[in-house]
């Protein structure tokens, strides 16, 4: 048994990434943020889909094209399709923000490559 809310490293320099589960075409990761955000003016553009669940802390996630802004609190989930440019505008500087992220190939892509 492992607890995702314990052994939360306090690191104001860098976010912490830890693989939890590796499947055939998906990867489950714990991410710990301590106030970090995407550098000003930058967007993240990923080649796989990512589903995120915020477990503790708080964060603001925004999308370039739609302009949607999500103020995420514990229990909140957002799906980020591949190549949908997004950024983490803000994470709580006073408390660790723990995320569960599932990186995966979308089902259609799997079907297409069979």
Where on the chain is the footprint of a second copy (CB under 8 A)? 1-6, 20-26, 28, 51, 53, 55, 70, 72-79, 100, 102, 104-107, 109-111
CB 2, min distance to a second copy, A: 5
Nearer to a second copy, 2 or 94 (CB): 2
d(C-alpha 64, C-alpha 51), whole Å = 17
Nearer to a second copy, 44 or 78 (CB): 78
Cβ atoms of residues 98 and 59 within 8 Å: no
d(C-alpha 71, C-alpha 51), whole Å = 16
Q: In this structure, what are the phi and psi dihedrals at residue 110, rounded to the nearest 5 degrees?
A: -60, -45
CB 17, min distance to a second copy, A: 16
């Amino acid at each position: 048994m492992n607890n995702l809310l314990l052994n939360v490293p306090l690191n104001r320099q860098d976010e912490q990434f830890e693989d939890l589960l590796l499947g055939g075409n998906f990867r489950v990761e714990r991410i710990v943020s301590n106030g970090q955000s995407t550098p000003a003016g930058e967007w993240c553009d990923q080649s796989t889909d990512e589903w995120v669940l915020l477990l503790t802390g708080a964060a603001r996630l925004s999308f370039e094209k739609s302009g949607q802004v999500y103020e995420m609190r514990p229990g909140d989930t957002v799906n980020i399709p591949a190549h949908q440019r997004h950024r983490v505008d803000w994470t709580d500087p006073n408390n660790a923000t723990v995320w569960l992220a599932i990186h995966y190939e979308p089902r259609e892509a799997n079907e297409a490559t069979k």
